[in-house]
Amino acid sequence: MNPTGKYIQFHGIQLKDRQWPSRTTTKAPRWCSVDLRDGNQALAVPMTVEQKLEMFLMLVKCGFKEIEIGFPSASPTEYGFTRRLIEGRLIPSDVTIQVLTQARDDLIRRTAESLAGANKATIHLYNSTSPAQRKIVFGFEKPQVVDLAAQGTKWVKEYAAGLQGTEVSFEYSPESFSATEVDFSLEVCEAVMDVWGPTPQHKIILNLPDTVQMATPNVHADQIEWFCRNMSRRDCAVISLHTHNDRGTGVAATELGLLAGAERVEGTLFGNGERTGNLDIVTVALNLFSQGIDPELDFSDIDSLREIYERCTGMKVPPRQPYSGELVFTAFSGSHQDAIRKGLRARDQDGNAPWNVPYLSIDPRDIGREYKEVIRVNGQSGKGGIAWLLENECGLHLPKDMLREFGAIAGKKIDALGREVTSAELKAMLWTEYVERGAPYWLEHFQSNTEADTGIGKCHCQSVVVFEDRDLQLAGEGNGPIDAFVRSLEKICHVRVLDQAEHALGAGQEASAISYIKLQFPDGSMCWGAGVDTNIEQASIKAVISALNRGSKA
């Protein structure tokens, strides 16, 4: 496993006065989706025409104004898809379709033919420029590479002139720019510009692909800045990025490349592409969004977008993919859950303040997700996650001290299950432990009589409590029903109410209420109980019995 001698470290250029590290991105770049070409060619089973059409319409809905739809000269399917979009008038007037071609006369002619009748189109020409491609694949010297690029541009210009009624743009890519000497990449691109003749009003797109990532993102940024600063007609070109993800830094390389002077980005949704994939446009766009910059793309229903993508491509978005993965807004850790819960609660109190919720870089609702997806509970979770599910999905607001008690009980049960639990399962655990505790005591009957007060503020109660198949007739007097009932229990056990809380479980006259009561026993031990009833007074008495049963079991 010793790489010494087999692999050679990539050395970047010397750019001592680089400017990009001190710059800040303030606006969205021009976006170009290459899902239907670069993404499609990376699939084990390429998309059908119908699947490509569904993807195209989805990309339009997201707001993409430039979409590379395919490689028309590569196959009848690719050609047919291009014609279907044009002849079916499926391309909005503000959307430019883009098609890829190699620098060959017959392929360029076929490509131009596929665009007949299009409103706006970009012909994307490429040829390889890196030393490895020059020597190993094509056996070319540098002058031959320059001549091929220039000749290809002449053919594009010739055939584009025949596309009457079509606004044609031109894009050139020195493939493997990341592995090419930057001065040679510039030489090739300058030769292409000489042939095409761009102007500040009609710019050429120079796409500088990070085809195979050779080094860290800062090296890529240096290459882009050097290129931008040394080209002769910067105002006549749009500098475009096309990063792959071989080193896992496609997003970083793109973001630094934008700082270095690029204005346009090519990539795919969720990063589908050759080898380790293309740039994930969703991630870069939502990174901008998280900084208060309008990405000019609509990802407000990310789950629907992901569903269409997965169905059409057969690929799966990893659960931890930034922003779009199923689990990216989910916290299992107890400390994370507690912080998120408190942050969201503070947010509810001041919804106009800037977003500042711990562990959540953006509001999940901005991309169509729900807060219930944020916190999920398994054996790693704590009381914060349990409280979140109970509060937000079950409408149960346990007192803080009771939550601590129940959290420990539920935690052991969840850990034993060895899996995630639902809010319904948590509620069932709560009911089993508290609400449904029917032994050793059972409340058969309870009635308080406020009309028979023996004094100001006094209440008299009568009840029947079943214990070991015996009906215990109890009576008591106190400051209220609960106090009166607790006093009536003295023949069973001397207990004292330490805490009490209650709330409704719904709305309307028939809604149930839940009461939480904490009792202290003669030995100093303490237990919570809970009771549910449509009558809050009855719910409170049931909560006393619940706590009594739990204390008796302790």
**Can you list the pairs that 21-28 forms with residues at least 24 positions away whose Cβ atoms lie under 8 Å?**
21/259, 23/259, 24/259, 25/255, 25/258, 25/259, 25/288, 25/291, 25/293, 26/293, 27/293, 27/294, 28/285, 28/288, 28/293, 28/294, 28/295, 28/296, 28/297
For residue 292, what are the domain limits? 23-313
Averaged pLDDT, 388-411: 92
Top-confidence residue, 546 or 509: 546
- Specify whether 480 is located in the same domain as 514: yes
Asked whether residue 325 is domain-assigned, the answer is no
Q: What is the pLDDT of residues 106-137, one digit of tens each?
A: 999 999 999 999 999 999 999 999 999 999 99
Asked whether residue 126 is domain-assigned, the answer is yes
- Specify whether 290 is located in the same domain as 256: yes
Asked whether residue 287 is domain-assigned, the answer is yes
- Specify whether 448 is located in the same domain as 341: no
Judged by DSSP in three states, 505 sits in: coil
The pLDDT mean for the chain works out to 93
CB neighbours (10 Å) of residue 493? 14
Averaged pLDDT, 186-204: 98
Asked whether residue 285 is domain-assigned, the answer is yes
pLDDT > 90? residue 436: yes
State residue 370's pLDDT score.
78
- Specify whether 241 is located in the same domain as 284: yes
Asked whether residue 47 is domain-assigned, the answer is yes
State residue 114's pLDDT score.
97
Asked whether residue 11 is domain-assigned, the answer is no
Asked whether residue 524 is domain-assigned, the answer is yes
Asked whether residue 213 is domain-assigned, the answer is yes
- The domain total for the chain is 3
Q: What is the CATH number of the domain that holds 257?
A: 3.20.20.70
pLDDT > 60? residue 519: yes
State residue 553's pLDDT score.
55
pLDDT > 60? residue 308: yes
- Specify whether 309 is located in the same domain as 374: no
Q: What is the CATH number of the domain that holds 514?
A: 3.30.160.270
- Specify whether 377 is located in the same domain as 249: no
Q: What is the pLDDT of residues 8-25, one digit of tens each?
A: 999 889 898 999 999 999
- Specify whether 345 is located in the same domain as 375: yes
Averaged pLDDT, 23-37: 97
pTM of the model: 0.79
State residue 351's pLDDT score.
80
- Specify whether 307 is located in the same domain as 341: no
- Specify whether 32 is located in the same domain as 117: yes
Sign of CA pseudo-dihedral 265, 268, 270, 274: negative
Q: What span, in angstroms and rounded, lies between the C-alpha atoms of 203 and 205?
A: 7
pLDDT > 80? residue 445: yes
- Specify whether 420 is located in the same domain as 284: no
- Specify whether 100 is located in the same domain as 169: yes
- Specify whether 233 is located in the same domain as 292: yes
pLDDT > 90? residue 449: no
Averaged pLDDT, 298-325: 96
State residue 331's pLDDT score.
81
Across 164-178, 331-345, 448-462, 520-534, least confident range: 448-462
State residue 509's pLDDT score.
63
State residue 554's pLDDT score.
43
Q: What is the pLDDT of residues 351-395, one digit of tens each?
A: 889 999 999 999 999 999 876 667 778 777 778 888 888 998 899
State residue 458's pLDDT score.
86
